[in-house]
Amino acid sequence: MQKTVPVGFEDIKRILDEDMYYVDKSLMIRNLIDHKGSVNLYTRPRRFGKTLNLSMIRRFFEEELDTEGEKIDNGYLFHKLNIAKCGGEYMAHQGKYPVISLSLKSAKQPTYEMAVASMVDEIAKEFKRHVYVLLNSCLTEHEKERFAAIMNRKAEEIEYKKALEFLSACLAQYHGKRTIILLDEYDVPLEHAHFTGFYHEMTGFIRSLFESALKTNPHLEFAVITGCLRISRESIFTGLNNLEIYSITNSWYADSFGFTEGEIKAMLSFFHLADKFEEVKNWYDGYRFGEWDIYNPWSIINYVKTALADREAYPQTYWSNTSSNSIIRELVEHADSGVRQEIEVLIAGEKIRKPVREDITYDLIFESQDNLWNFLFFTGYLKAEKKSFEDDIQYMELMIPNREVRMIYKRTILAWFDKKIKGLERTNLLRALEDGDCETFERFVSEQLLDTISFFDYAENYYHGFLAGLLKGAGNYLVVSNRESGTGRPDLILKSPSVRGCAVILELKVSNTFQGMEQECRRALEQIEEADYEAQLRAEGYRNIRKFGVCFYRKECMAVTISEEEEKVAAR
């Protein structure tokens, strides 16, 4: 029976029990044991395997019990994984510790109260998972009452801020071992709170939750925390001197999240898709964690699942359907001319050089442009190439990692442009076309080009789409693009609803030099006349027909029209 691809499955036990395809990351367990870090923070972009790895860590270390206190054996899960080959000194840790596992990824509510309620619900569920401690005499009656109140969501907010510390103490008393604490996507509540307006309140709740559990907690064996962004010690991890941070710039654990090239080739080969490797590399490779080249795992497993159903299916931007793209939208919407130029450089596949700062907070993202570029880097929308130091400041050359992410930028830019155009007053543009006012038309279009973000390397298709977007929805005119007329295809035609009104023909050209723009405009007008583009318009009954030769060079637009005298000469 063919193995299935585990799209959306985040529990290693279910993946292995149901014989789904699993990329073995169990050597991360060996590194955890060897490093003996007290509190370990791993920052990676969303959907890079953080939740699945935490489930692996929990299933390995936890002395898991059911609600009646009966042991649940998870040892068999690891018999065929790489950690089992590391020797008995590592396997001796399997199933030996109490574990608290808490995910904060669901705290995305629109208010502080609702977000806290969501986290309270998750905390209560974790208490209920360990309800067996109430069956033992290790707890006092007061502790049992406190435990039950938290589990039943009847405790005060302060009790939930200290809940992890309390639960670790209860578990340590019951099991006779210090507790391992796993916290998944710790910064999701902070990110969402920032964009919805209650960041500082949420920071206070998270800080209290973490401080009580991770700082001077005698019942803590070690902790593993995952998130997207490294938050400064001052904002969340105040005084937490035992914090080890492993970001995407660190070589430790670099291959533990995401897929390496070897893992990709093995996976494609297993599913008889080895011939798809170059396509996969083009679309989903490009990340650099420490010294490792890493592929986006969410996109890979979705690609493989799609390809198994249809080998000829076109690659998709799977990651954009799960990750928050609001930060790119913020970048585009608030970009000044310099930032717009940098975005164009990135989309063209080139690099920009920026200082690197890891300890930023969400409330400082828009304090400076460099902070925003850093956020895009650490969240996976940019990758770092060459590193350098200047005046003790680390710099990196940043670029878009792959084709998938480049598509996210392009779609965001197009959506922003459409939104921008809808609110743009275009009366002067239409009047210029109706009156044959080339100077006003040129100035209006050039201003919009300067105020937007270009891609497609300034090819004619880009300008065609840009001008069509600018004209659509302007007044009552119908915009017709590349429609057959006469013996050829005019680039754009504008038609008033009534044939008594005006019709406009625009033929577009692109010049390689500023000096050559006028000549290209004249050539466009000659094409309009020679191909008799106005034939269909005359047949429909239009008599007031304007014809423009339009040329673009980078962010400049030039237009030439046929004067009334030239029209008379042409008619004779």
pLDDT one-digit tens code per residue, 467-484? 998 998 777 889 998 755
Average per-residue pLDDT in the chain?
89
Q: Which of 137-146, 461-470, 539-548 has the lowest mean pLDDT?
A: 461-470
At 264, list the tokens.
Answer: 């990709």
For the chain, the 3-state helix, strand and coil shares in percent, each to the nearest 5, are 45, 15, 35
Q: Element (H or E) spanning 142, and its range? A: helix 141-151
pLDDT at residue number 458: 63
Using alpha carbons, select from 482, 39, 450, 453 the residue that is nearest to residue 220: 39
Select the more confidently predicted residue: 63 or 336: 63
The pLDDT score that the predictor gives to residue 331 is 75
Confidence of residue 563 (pLDDT cuts 50, 70, 90): low
Using a 10 angstrom Cβ sphere, with 0-12 exposed, 13-18 middle and 19 or more buried, the burial of residue 390 is exposed
Which pLDDT score, from 0 to 100, does residue 4 have? 93
What percent of the chain has a predicted confidence (pLDDT) above 70? 94
> In the β-sheet with 544-553, what is the strand arrangement from edge to edge?
478-481, 492-495, 502-510, 544-553, 556-561
Q: What pTM does this model have?
A: 0.84
3-state secondary structure of 244: strand
473 or 260, higher pLDDT: 260
165-174, 282-291, 334-343: least confidently modelled range: 334-343
Mean of pLDDT values over 157-167: 96
Bridge partners, 292 (sequence order):
289
- Provide the pairing of β-strand 556-561 with 544-553: antiparallel
Question: Residue 409 corresponds to which tokens in the numbers above?
Answer: 């930028």
Asked whether the predicted pLDDT for residue 485 surpasses 70, the reply is no
Q: What is the pLDDT of residues 283-295, one digit of tens each?
A: 999 898 888 899 9
First-to-final CA distance of the chain:
80
pLDDT at 569: 45
List helix spans (H) across 386-514: 403-422, 427-435, 438-450, 460-471
pLDDT of residue 566: 54
309, pLDDT greater than 60: yes
252 and 290 Cβ atoms separated by less than 8 Å: yes
Which range, of 200-204, 484-488, 496-500, averages the lowest pLDDT? 484-488
Q: Is the pLDDT of residue 537 over 50?
A: yes
User: pLDDT, tens digit, for every residue of 415-465?
Assistant: 887 888 878 889 999 999 999 999 999 999 999 988 887 765 567 888 888
- pLDDT band with cut points at 50, 70 and 90 for residue 513: very high
> What pLDDT, on a 0 to 100 scale, did the predictor assign at position 488?
61
Taking only the tens place, the pLDDT of each residue in 77-132 is 999 999 999 999 999 999 999 999 999 999 999 999 999 999 999 999 999 999 99
